[in-house]
Amino acid sequence: MSFLNVNQVNTAGNLPSFTTGANTINFNGSVIGGSSASTMKNRVINGDMRIDQRNNGANTVNGGGTTYFLDRWMTYDASGGSHLAVQQNMNSVTPPPGFTNYLGIKVVSAVSASGTNNFTLTQYIEGYNTSNLAWGSSNAKTVTLSFWVQSSLTGNFAVMMSSENYDAQYVASYTISQANTWTFVSITIPGPTIGAWSTGNSRGIDLRFDLGMGSNFLGTTNNWTSSTIYTFSGATPLVGTLGATLYITGVQLEVGSSATSFDFRHYQQEFALCQRYLTKFTGNDANQGYAGYGSGYTGSTSRSIIFVNLPVAMRTIPTLTKSGANRIIYVSGGAIATTTAGNFGNIQMAVQNGYFTVDVASGTPLTAATIAGFTADNDSNAFLSFSAEL
């Protein structure tokens, strides 16, 4: 029988260090617990760009303002124009080692950002997932942001973090020295002692990658400030070059002063984390698009009440959206009949369950007091989504 005698246990930085005589063994993410089974090492969700509920890999253009693409990731286009296309695995480039997916951005209409115009790739990180950083206090923890990036442009680029109300902001610079080549970036950021930081279900940290900024947002790097800054003078504006591309994956934000191996969580765990902010039921199933959304009963000949149980508790009461061919299927006298569904009404949702009513606009009248279900009507493009994005 073998024994391990431990004389001393101490902590070196963020990593547990076990000292036995003259030998010290360090256990970190690359040795034990690489997927961080007991804690959420990576505060970024879908940092490896695996989940794309909204578009399922399709190319989509930001029509202006805020547009969500891959789960938890959105671009912002303050100009109101259609300048940026976003797609999972755009142009089918080879991802960096260990990764199978990435987020791609392409400039489909170039623009020179000026004034308050700003273009960003952003993830809002919920306060519940950042509360233990103690930001805004004297105990604020240092964090390290790391990611893989590739661009058709070279130069210095900006990435920034801020509080939800912008009373604390930090801009850092990273360099892409070789075009169309994956570059690993690691940036250590001291914890801020200023600012009010959410510790609940609102925005805990705003993480933004600069894609082009107007002069109103210029500032100095590597300094926490209460001024509104997103970038620095001389940063490369991706949006200023027609056809320019930027690919990114492996985005990780972790406690500590150095980057460790990427936190590859189980797929189902990552998917459930995404569903807290977006749950989407689609017609893409093995039954040729007849995906069930919910069930209930017909309250009258023109209205059905449909109950929905969501797979996870959402961040807040979600907003419901439907698209495509949807039908009510109801049971009357032992027979199954279908009718085209009309508009939603009387939506009553909680964070994990609720109901909505569907008024029939046309089709076979309903039979009151019968069982009903709401489904995609053999339409693989139909969906029912619940959004609770930050």
Judge if 84 and 195 occupy the same domain: yes
Residue 288 gets the label, from left (phi > 0), alpha (psi -120 to 50) or beta, of left
**Same domain assignment for residues 363 and 271:** no
Over residues 307-326, the mean pLDDT reads 89
**What is the CATH number for 370?**
2.40.30
In a domain, 104, yes or no: yes
One domain for residues 282 and 261: no
The first and second tokens of residue 309, run together, are 């149980």
Structural domain range at position 318 = 278-387
Is the domain of 14 the same as that of 126?
no
Task: Give just the sign of the alpha carbon dihedral 125, 131, 132, 135.
Answer: positive
92 and 16 together in one domain? no
Position 382 scores a pLDDT of: 82
In this structure, the answer to whether residues 155 and 242 fall within a common structural domain is: yes
Instruction: Please identify, among 249, 275, 301, the residue that sits at the C-terminal boundary of a domain.
Output: 275
206 and 71 together in one domain: yes
Point out the least confidently predicted range of 41-55, 93-107, 192-206, 342-356: 342-356
Enter the tokens of residue 390. Answer: 């930050």
C-alpha span between 306 and 320 (Å, rounded): 13
Residue percentage of the chain with pLDDT more than 90: 64
Q: How far apart are CA 122 and CA 111, in angstroms?
A: 19
Q: Are residues 256 and 292 in the same domain?
A: no
pLDDT at residue 22 tops 50: no
The reply to whether 333 and 221 lie within a common domain is: no
Q: Is residue 141 part of a domain?
A: yes
Residue 36 — pLDDT band, cuts 50, 70, 90? Answer: very low
250 lies in the same domain as 111: yes
Please check whether residues 242 and 124 belong to one and the same domain. Answer: yes
Question: Tens digit of pLDDT for each residue in 56-68?
Answer: 999 999 988 899 9
Q: Which pLDDT score, from 0 to 100, does residue 339 have?
A: 76
Mean pLDDT, range 166-185, rounded to an integer: 98
Instruction: Write out the DSSP string of 231-298.
Output: B-TT---GGGSTT-EEEEEEEEEEESSS--S-----HHHHHHHHHTTEEEEES-STTTT--EEEEEEE
What mean pLDDT is predicted for residues 4-22? 43
pLDDT (0 to 100) of residue 194: 98
Q: Distances from the Cα of 43 to the Cαs of 39, 124, 253, 358, 360, in angstroms? A: 10, 10, 5, 39, 44
The answer to the question of residue 209 being in a domain is: yes
Do 249 and 376 share a domain, yes or no? no
Task: Tell me what the mean pLDDT of segment 29-38 comes to.
Answer: 37
- In tens, the pLDDT along 89-137 reads 999 999 999 999 999 999 999 999 888 889 999 999 999 999 999 999 9
